[in-house]
Structure 1
């Protein structure tokens, strides 16, 4: 596995995608930077990270036989990898917020952006961008729900060692994915899914507020919410938010 270390770049995902266009990449090639200047998150959001304090990196993963309709299991594999490493670091009250944010209690510690390239009905390659707050202790005022491993545990972490642990876990879970152990991945994911089976207030894309309980993830990766009338409704990424 090849690791490329950069002192600074705009986006590790963008760098890795450009690299893949111009060369043949070894599977699990990783680009990590000490200073990501234009980090990207889900839904065109920005990922803000203090230089030299956190992990901002991207991993290239190639597949031989992963169908597009099995995409949700890739999300499960990656988010479970981060969750498992942070759990071992004694992060208090860790969970995965659908689809793949990692939380400590109600605060966000890690964001994941997965960008795929396709060949017919198959996923050819994935560019997995991960931003993990590690040793940062002060966050911008507008990031009220952000936290870090150091803030939650009181301990400073070695970034290189933490990266190594995460990459090792990703390889394990991708092996599980390519071995088609989909049920196992889903069971593990649902066991640690934020607010699962807990009555929760939501807001939909029409700004309507309603009560429901997260019950699972659909075949197409949508969030399944059990409503008060015992009907399960499915929501895409931009169609629902926690109130």
Structure 2
């Protein structure tokens, strides 16, 4: 695997996108930065990370031959790869907070940002940004954040964690390439945070309501059983899961 190590960059996703625009990039090329000055998360949020304590990296994935109809399966693959990695390192009580925040003991340890490239109406490639809290122990004003060190008591080798993640990405992308989307979706739904538990949500207008998470659609919408026994689908822009 080809890994580019940087002391600092504004965003590993942006760096990798620029690299792809200027040269031919090998599949699974990764850009790892000790420090990001402008790390990005879902929906335009900022990903904050202490220098050299955590993993902030991006991976290039060629998906031009995958015949992919629903890009949410890329998110599923990455979530499963992170879960498999953390289980390998004996991290406890793992779950996926829809769509792709990775939790341990109900606290966020990993965020994922995916930027897909479409060419001639087909998905061509993905830039996969991963921010994993590894050895950081202080999270000022972030009560729902944690790290692998905090939940396990161990200090981790960042290079080792990176290599295991990339190998697990290869494992699950191979399953996706074979078209076994039902297998991937079933594994993902088994790990959904608060699945089949009474949960509270807030919609885009600020209305708070209750329901039970039942699963996800092929489009990545969250399927919620409401009080009137009707299952309704919500996309990321219209609903927030409150803990």
TM-score range, shorter chain: over 0.9
Aligned 8 A contact 2:73 2:218 in 1: no
Cα distance, 1:68 vs structure 2: 5.3
Rounded to whole Å, the distance in 1 between the matches of 2:200 and 2:116 is 32
Segments of structure 1 that go 5 or more residues without pairing to the other structure are none
Segments of structure 2 that go 5 or more residues without pairing to the other structure are none
Cα distance, 1:66 vs structure 2: 3.4
What residue number does 1:35 align with? 35
What residue number does 2:169 align with? 170
Cα distance, 1:2 vs structure 2: 1.0
Cα distance, 1:166 vs structure 2: 0.6
1:26-75 Cα deviation digits (max 9, x unpaired): 00010001111110000000000000100000000011233453212111
Q: Secondary structure at the match of 2:201?
A: strand
Rounded to whole Å, the distance in 2 between the matches of 1:49 and 1:125 is 27
Cα distance, 1:209 vs structure 2: 1.2
> How many residues were matched structurally?
242
Q: Does 1:131 align with 2:131?
A: yes
> TM-score of the superposition, structure 1-length normalised?
0.97
What residue number does 1:185 align with? 184
Rounded to whole Å, the distance in 2 between the matches of 1:69 and 1:80 is 19
What residue number does 1:72 align with? 72
Q: Secondary structure at the match of 2:219?
A: coil
What residue number does 1:151 align with? 150
Q: Secondary structure at the match of 2:65?
A: strand
Aligned 8 A contact 2:213 2:225 in 1: yes
